[in-house]
Amino acid sequence: MSNLIEVYKLSKHFPVSAGLFSRKKKYVYAMDEISFTLGEKETLGLVGESGCGKSTASRTILNLITPTSGQVWFQGQNLFALKPYEKRKLRQGIQIIFQDPFGSLNPRLTVKRIVEEPLLTHKIGDRASRRQEVEKMLTKVGLLPEHMKRFPHEFSGGQRQRIMLARALILKPKLIIADEPVSALDVSVQAQMLNLLKRLQEEMDLSYIFISHDLGVIRHVSHKVAVMYLGEIVEIAPVDPLYNEPLHPYTISLLSSVPVPDPKKKNRTRKILQGDVPSPRNPPAGCRFHTRCPDCMDICTREKPDTRQVKKNHMVACHLYQDGELWVPPLPNQ
Amino acid sequence: MSLLNIHSLHTFFKTSSGIVKAVDGVSLSVKKGEILGIVGESGCGKSVLALSILRLLPMPPAFFEQGQIMFNKSDLLKISNEEIRSIRGNRISMIFQEPMTALNPVYTVGNQLAEVYRVHRNMSKKQALEKAVNMLEKVGIPGPKNRLKEYPYQLSGGLRQRVMIAMALACQPQLLIADEPTTALDVTIQAQILDLVIKLRKELGTAIIMITHDLGVIAEITDRVMVMYTGSIMESASTLELFEKPLHPYTMGLLKSIPGTGATDENELYEIKGNVPSLLNLPQGCKFNTRCPMAVDICTQKRPELREIYPEHNVACWRVDHV
């Protein structure tokens, strides 16, 4: 099966000025050489703590942020090598939905105008057909056609999230990047949204890159999961192996930190990490996780671990797994 | 023996579009040294309930329609402002959700922490600072002496929340109210803070009211739970019993809609239909009837009272026998 999207060694370092007279430029290492592939109708869960580069990853893939290095291939074309008008065309196939259902909708526009905007931007259809299309999309996401004339403030958080989804879907994309789409919602509304996303995946043959800090949500929606720490993917695997037999010490402690909604498991042994995430301005040498790692060895403070394939499709970047087969991301489209 | 007794508390807000019944007849009691969890979705009145206990709500628009909050034989709603001020931060203290806005950005950590001792214990500045160092050490802040001189912006979210906890526990209160103390934190930091709360509870014997929307946190640290919905308590039970055999359809729905627990292998999550109704426009009868899968005629006519179904397990539902 060919891949819908291939991300190859994608990096983004944000320059920060280090003072007025400083010659040396400093960088925030927001994202470092992340690689993954995603097939059609698949969901990749991107999980990690705040500041680990999840959102930078999503915006760089869309080319909302220019990457420092790396490639993104979408439907067999290199997104960064295209001419602007080609890129615009190709980007119709990738859409994004954001976390904040209050800040992402223009309060002065009606729902109709908001949802139809992508069609206007890409000059698709005439007035009547656009209207029809908007109507169809609103019904698809569980709203009513009569909601078209209303404004965003008349809707609850969950409904606004649906409006945003309708706007993203109106161009019939192949890939949706969902950046924390449910973290502002209550559990009961969150369940509605997650079910809707799953149903639409079936109906419209969508792939998702699903970003969340909530490990439960990620487990529910994803086919494979990438765990990020300080800008790097430390482990990537299909969802069940990752949750049942996590390999990287960070994944292990992350999973055991999640409070389990079952009081009988209250006294299970948990691996609680010490300290905080270091600043991405000055990431630790060697393995970036070594400052908090319970299994830190001598080598970890000096050498950056290679990514190795320890089991089938289960990649991990950690010195504990030296016997794994060295894994180099294949060059896209070869 | 119970430490705090709330009896039929009604906290309302007067607004231009009508009266908002944020807390609508809540009764509860907290025993010495226990952790009571209050769980509910946003807008269910859990924070207003917490703020009512310490009278931290702006009045007006807020007012207490009726009710009693008994703490050490006095009614917190009736005592004078001076008296409540001597209780706040001293006998009852509170931790808030957002550690950045809850600390004053222009004072050092040491200053803010020492203030507690100076106000409530009449200590000299030097004594108070010494005490502050001890307290910071107790909540696991490395290098506490140096931290005294730092400002809140210099600390990470986790450290700030530790400072908040140190301030709250400085006078060894009998009751600590924690309003979503870990919601703004990452999971690994959340685990550290919850661990700390449990440890300090053991050491100091403080009773805790833990307010959260996260059923995981509830299961992890509480002894007893109350489930709130639109200002009322729908169900209360020991934590074990609530998770094992929830009786209210709302509780059951909440538990079933948590994703990725691995408990269910279903593709589809359970949904509670619709949205939380507006507090200005609550349905007649049981407030949950518009979303309840089991609602019958009586549910839309009469509001159910909280009844004891099993020992210490109370439910406000007409259909509880049919569950």
Distance CA A316, CA A310 (A): 7
DSSP-derived 3-state class of residue B96: coil
Nearest by CB: B257 against A188, A259, A263: A188
Please judge whether B215 and A190 are an interchain contact, meaning their C-beta atoms are less than 8 angstroms apart.
Answer: no
* Chain A contact set for B275 (CB, 8 A): 156, 158-159, 189
Residue A179 in contact with residue A94, Cβ under 8 Å? no
pLDDT mean for each 10 residues of chain B (323 residues): 88 88 90 91 87 88 89 88 88 84 88 88 87 85 84 84 86 89 82 85 89 89 92 92 91 86 66 83 87 87 88 89 70
**What's the pLDDT band for A118 if we cut at 50, 70, 90?**
very high
* Beta-bridge partners for B225: B37, B237
- Tell whether A153 lies on the interface with B, counting CB pairs under 8 A: no
Report the residue of chain A nearest B253, measured CA to CA: A188
Please judge whether A263 and B239 are an interchain contact, meaning their C-beta atoms are less than 8 angstroms apart.
Answer: yes
DSSP-derived 3-state class of residue B215: helix
Distance CA A1, CA A42 (A): 12
Please judge whether A192 and B194 are an interchain contact, meaning their C-beta atoms are less than 8 angstroms apart.
Answer: no
Single out the residue of B112, B147, B119 nearest to residue B133, CA to CA.
B147
* Chain A contact set for B190 (CB, 8 A): 257, 259
CB pairs under 8 A between A and B: 120
At B5, the amino acid letter reads N
Residue A258 in contact with residue B187, Cβ under 8 Å? yes
Q: What is the pTM of this model?
A: 0.85
- In a mutational test of the A interface, the residue from B35, B42, B156, B188 whose CB has the highest number of chain A CBs within 10 Å is B188
CA distances for B104 relative to B89, B99, B108, B109, B115, angstroms: 16, 10, 8, 9, 12
Please judge whether A276 and B268 are an interchain contact, meaning their C-beta atoms are less than 8 angstroms apart.
Answer: no
Please judge whether A266 and B220 are an interchain contact, meaning their C-beta atoms are less than 8 angstroms apart.
Answer: yes
Who contacts A88 (Cβ-Cβ below 8 Å, separation ≥6)? A122
Which segments within B248-312 are labelled E, that is strand? 307-310
Distance CA B27, CA B42 (A): 20
Burial class for B206, CB neighbours closer than 10 Å (0-12, 13-18, 19+): buried
Distance CA B187, CA B216 (A): 11
- Tell whether B280 lies on the interface with A, counting CB pairs under 8 A: no
Instruction: Please give the pLDDT value at position A279.
Output: 82
Instruction: Please give the pLDDT value at position A90.
Output: 87
Distance CA B21, CA A42 (A): 46
* Chain A contact set for B216 (CB, 8 A): 258-261
* Chain A contact set for B215 (CB, 8 A): 187, 261
- Tell whether A248 lies on the interface with B, counting CB pairs under 8 A: no
Instruction: Please give the pLDDT value at position B207.
Output: 92
| Closest CA of chain A from B166, distance in Å | 18
* Chain A contact set for B189 (CB, 8 A): 49, 276
| Closest CA of chain A from B181, distance in Å | 14
- Tell whether A219 lies on the interface with B, counting CB pairs under 8 A: yes
Residue B167 in contact with residue B114, Cβ under 8 Å? no
- Which range of A70-84, A106-120, B135-149 scores highest in mean pLDDT? It is A106-120
Instruction: Please give the pLDDT value at position A80.
Output: 87
Instruction: Please give the pLDDT value at position B49.
Output: 92
Distance CA B14, CA A26 (A): 54
Question: How many other β-carbons are positioned within 10 Å of the β-carbon of residue A227?
Answer: 25
Which segments within chain B are labelled E, that is strand? 2-15, 18-31, 35-39, 62-71, 74-75, 92-95, 175-179, 207-212, 224-229, 232-238, 307-310, 313-315
Please judge whether B259 and A188 are an interchain contact, meaning their C-beta atoms are less than 8 angstroms apart.
Answer: no
At A168, the amino acid letter reads A
- Tell whether B261 lies on the interface with A, counting CB pairs under 8 A: yes
Instruction: Please give the pLDDT value at position B323.
Output: 62
Please judge whether A257 and B187 are an interchain contact, meaning their C-beta atoms are less than 8 angstroms apart.
Answer: yes
Question: How many other β-carbons are positioned within 10 Å of the β-carbon of residue A29?
Answer: 20
- Which range of A188-192, A224-228, B16-20, B70-74 scores highest in mean pLDDT? It is A224-228
Instruction: Please give the pLDDT value at position A45.
Output: 94
- Dihedral angle computed from the Cα positions of residues B94, B95, B97 and B101, in that order, rounded to the nearest 10 degrees: 100
Report the residue of chain A nearest B217, measured CA to CA: A259
Distance CA A5, CA A28 (A): 26
- Tell whether B260 lies on the interface with A, counting CB pairs under 8 A: yes
Distance CA B181, CA B162 (A): 10
Distance CA A318, CA A304 (A): 8
Which sign, positive or negative, has the C-alpha torsion B260, B262, B265, B266? negative
* Chain A contact set for B219 (CB, 8 A): 259-263, 265-266
- In a mutational test of the A interface, the residue from B187, B229, B238, B252 whose CB has the highest number of chain A CBs within 10 Å is B187
Instruction: Please give the pLDDT value at position B262.
Output: 57
Please judge whether B187 and A215 are an interchain contact, meaning their C-beta atoms are less than 8 angstroms apart.
Answer: yes
Which B residues in the span 183-242 are in contact with A, Cβ-Cβ below 8 Å? 186-192, 194-195, 213-221, 239-240
- Tell whether B42 lies on the interface with A, counting CB pairs under 8 A: yes
Who contacts B38 (Cβ-Cβ below 8 Å, separation ≥6)? B46, B49, B50, B209, B210, B211, B212, B225, B226, B228
Which A residues in the span 278-307 are in contact with B, Cβ-Cβ below 8 Å? none
Please judge whether A187 and B195 are an interchain contact, meaning their C-beta atoms are less than 8 angstroms apart.
Answer: no
Report the residue of chain A nearest B186, measured CA to CA: A49
Residue B174 in contact with residue B76, Cβ under 8 Å? no
- Tell whether A34 lies on the interface with B, counting CB pairs under 8 A: no
Domains of chain A with CATH codes: 87-173 (3.40.50.300)
* Beta-bridge partners for B175: B92, B207
What are φ and ψ of residue A107, in 5° steps?
A: -65, -15
Please judge whether B269 and A195 are an interchain contact, meaning their C-beta atoms are less than 8 angstroms apart.
Answer: yes
Give the tens place of pLDDT for each residue, A154-176.
888 888 999 999 999 999 999 99
Kindly provide the b/e burial profile for residues A183-219, where b requires at least 16 CB atoms within 10 angstroms of the residue's own CB: ebbbbbbbbbbbbbbbebbeeeebbbbbbbbbbbbbb
Instruction: Please give the pLDDT value at position A206.
Output: 93
Please judge whether B240 and A263 are an interchain contact, meaning their C-beta atoms are less than 8 angstroms apart.
Answer: yes
Nearest by CB: A276 against B158, B262, B267: B158
For chain A, give the mean pLDDT: 88
Instruction: Please give the pLDDT value at position B62.
Output: 87
Residue A52 in contact with residue A28, Cβ under 8 Å? no
* Chain B contact set for A142 (CB, 8 A): none
Query: ipTM, 2 decimals?
Result: 0.81
DSSP B44: S
Instruction: Please give the pLDDT value at position A18.
Output: 65
Instruction: Please give the pLDDT value at position A331.
Output: 79
Residue B9 in contact with residue B49, Cβ under 8 Å? yes
DSSP-derived 3-state class of residue B86: helix
3-state per-residue secondary structure call for chain A: CCEEEEEEEEEEEEEECCCCCCCCCEEEEEEEEEEEEEECCCEEEEECCCCCCHHHHHHHHCCCCCCCEEEEEECCEEHHHCCHHHHHHHHCCEEEECCCCCCCCCCCCCHHHHHHHHHHHCCCCCHHHHHHHHHHHHHHCCCCHHHHHCCHHHCCHHHHHHHHHHHHHCCCCCEEEEECCCCCCCHHHHHHHHHHHHHHHHHHCCEEEEEECCHHHHHHHCCEEEEEECCEEEEEEEHHHHHHCCCCHHHHHHHHHCCCCCHHHCCCCCCCCCCCCCCCCCCCCCCCCCCCCCCCCCHHHCCCCCEEEEECCEEEECCCCCCCEECCCCCCCC
* Chain A contact set for B262 (CB, 8 A): 219, 243
